[in-house]
A and B are shown apart, each in its own frame.
Chain A
């Protein structure tokens, strides 16, 4: 079974779109370039119009019409069906109102037994909870249709709030195994745990502007990584999800700069600490001071002598 196949490639996708438009009216080279830029990437906008017009791929008439007679479509491949079957076995699929009965007789590409996650948190969201699923679907609908909701929400400290908010995104963290909903409230973006939503009622379409859910306060930390016990690889892999820059500063020493969300600072601190002596915070000073404070307190708790300057 081929995963890497031109059948799924961006060139086929762009050509299908060109042919679709060429069934309605003749396409020009400029149309082809525009479609390639939208549906493909890289040099496709150069290569595809060239091949379609120089006789390499004569799928158009001389007038720029499609030689095929119907809109190009393709059936699902076995690989796609088997992947969908595997998805149908995932507990999170219950969140979505989908009918996957058309893959009932297909062998799944993988099963929950094939894949073992060994470090999942014990308090992930309960996707089987009917109320949770209902709230998820209401929020998904609100986001898709640009509507607001009246949300009753219980915070971690069990304070109950009722607000009218406009949901902007559903944010999922596989590390935490939970969804959070980013919503606009009084022109600010609020983040709420989906598990804390008690009631969610769909309201009308939101009028007026909305804050950008992706506008976040970014912070920077600079680390010195000593490549001992394969630390460089471990640290690099661990922080791949963040924007980072790595620079070699010595034979086995590297300077790594990471950009993270300001709201994640406590989490970043403990994630840096886990690498022990192979990672040292260089900047900023307040981040470094907090690490030093914790190390100092730790030495005292274990009755270990602290070096003079820490």
Chain B
């Protein structure tokens, strides 16, 4: 049996090992080794070195009074391909893996259907010419054949006591080049599109992405596990982690949807808690692991229940603003309404109201006023959007008075903050 090859320390066994580090370097970019508490100092150094190798020119650091702060920084509009995918192309392997990969695929390349002994014979013919001996066990080969069959690369059938393997046909993906360039950047689990693009001799360079949120790259494995559970009608135990990457809690849920925000790039799991059957939503970047659990129900019954829960959630569409499910259990939606003034030459503000109103209603009032109204379970969620109209808002009311008070208090606090800043700047000038 060949020993593990030397020197590829930059590859890693489990992506979750590096996920929290990459999130910190990319999303925050100011934590030093001492401030990052999810792993030991040695782990931090190892993972940082890996990330530096993968990210190349996009990786940087600066010295702060607390130490060295590492970051990944780039404008995603200026890169043609998502560089974070490199981390997902860095899985470690042993010599048997890579040797058998090329030997098996070459041995079966002629389309023949071969049993294990014939594959061994064909591999042996090739190895006769090798610069050095390579020894592997038959069981290792059988395991690799089984693994590739499960991946869909090979097919097999039983013949007597033997199992015959055949390579699946190779599809030419060159005609898909443009679609792969686009969807590898924009579709969920886009890294799979990037894997496909890696097969192309001439990838398409026609696209550029604006407002391109790619941090969800780190959550691809979590998303895939949740999608598989949804399609199988399975419940899952989700493990949460805090901002620092440390494990915090667990919850058993029935996953229903993946909720995506294109305005700020966040992705959530929408699920039903198995404890109280209430809707719950969790950010994917805070889920550290997903473990499917066996259900007592049959698959058909589970899928029927999934459809019923999805319908119940869809019925609340007009009463939700974002991913929050606060207030949905046994409470009524609360009315929130605000009015903005729009001058005739400010078509952009009017256009923005009409394009961003989601499930609300927009009315044209006299005097160039536009009124937005919605009935929301969690009206606090709308405040950031309302604030984008600062300078135009002529009224703001919410059935929940605490929300109205918060809107006005935030505004006063914002004004105070700038007043303090102006005062300080004047003081500096006088001094």
Contact = CB atoms under 8 A, between A and B. Distances in A.
Interface of A: 1-13, 15-16, 19, 41-44, 46-47, 50-51, 53-62, 65, 67-70, 72-81, 83-84, 86-87, 90, 92-93, 95-96, 98-100, 102, 107, 109-110, 113-123, 140, 143-144, 156, 169-177, 180, 182, 213-214, 232-234, 236-238, 240-248, 254, 259, 261, 266, 270-271, 273-277, 280, 282, 288, 291-299, 301-302, 304, 306-310
B400 interface: no
Given A6-B91, A59-B130, A244 B73 contact: yes
A120 B414 contact: no
Contact of B322 (A79, A119, A299): A119
Q: Is the interface of A mostly helix, strand, loop or mixed?
A: mixed
B220 A3 contact: yes
A177 B261 CA distance: 12
7 contacts: A2-B151, A50-B6, A58-B133, A74-B199, A169-B206, A174-B211, A304-B411
A90 B187 contact: yes
Given A244-B73, A276-B410, A301 B2 contact: no
Contacts of A242: 75-76
Contact of A80 (B26, B102, B195, B384): B195
Contact of A56 (B2, B206, B231, B322): B2
Contacts of A83: 187, 189, 192-193, 196
Nearest to A234: B264
Given A76-B168, A122-B355, A243-B73, A280 B422 contact: no
B175 A170 contact: no
Contacts of A44: 10
Contacts of A248: 30, 64, 66
B29 A246 contact: yes
Interface string B152-167: 1100000000000001
Nearest to B261: A119
Contact of A77 (B15, B101, B153, B206): B153
Which of A254, A299, A310 counts the most chain B CB atoms within 10 A?
A310
Interface in B176-202: 176, 178-179, 182-183, 186-189, 191-193, 195-196, 198-199
B175 A57 contact: no
Contact of A117 (B260, B357, B396): B260
Contacts of B293: none
A92 to B, nearest CB: 7
Contact of B354 (A16, A114, A123, A271): A123
B129 interface: yes
B29 A245 contact: yes
Interface in B10-57: 10-11, 14-15, 26-30, 50, 53-54, 56
B391 A170 contact: no
B183 A87 contact: yes
